[in-house]
Amino acid sequence: MIETFHVKHAVGGRSFIDTSKQSFDYTVENVADRWLFTITTPLLPNIEELLKWKDELNVFLFREEPGEPIVKLWFYVKDGPVHYDAERQKLTIISQGQIEYVPERFSSQP
């Protein structure tokens, strides 16, 4: 399976993290009905910008299996905390909601 991780500004769609363009080490955990994302990264300019918009983020995972349509998981950050630990170089994002969908199933074509 190929997995791509994105963190975007919810309003403008601006991308802060996109693992298809830049490598980031990250983990995803389901903890008490919330999703915890931990990203290992130095405080790069795009991470500084992400932190400015931390109340307006969406997180996506795109999962691709050979011969299958892409499955998208959309995580809503809402009031979930976003925090950067400079000493450990860890960015954490907590999502309070998630929707899984297959974009190709929403096509207007028969």
Residue 21 lies in a domain: yes
In a domain, 110, yes or no: no
Distance between CA atoms of residues 40 and 51, nearest Å: 15
- Asked whether the beta carbons of 72 and 28 are under 8 A apart, the reply is no
Stretch 63-75: mean pLDDT, rounded?
93
- Average pLDDT, integer, range 69-78: 90
Q: Indicate whether 110 pLDDT > 60.
A: no
| Mean pLDDT for the stretch of residues 26-48 | 95
Residue 105 forms part of a structural domain: no
63 belongs to a structural domain? yes
Poorest-pLDDT segment among 57-61, 84-88, 89-93, 105-109: 105-109
CA distances, 28 to each of 18, 38, 68 (Å): 15, 7, 22
Answer whether residue 90 is part of any domain.
no
- The answer to the question of residue 37 being in a domain is no
| Main-chain phi, psi angles of 70, to 5 degrees | -65, 135
Total tally of structural domains belonging to the chain:
1
Q: Which domain holds residue 3?
A: 1-25+59-75
In this structure, what are the phi and psi dihedrals at residue 15, rounded to the nearest 5 degrees? -95, 130
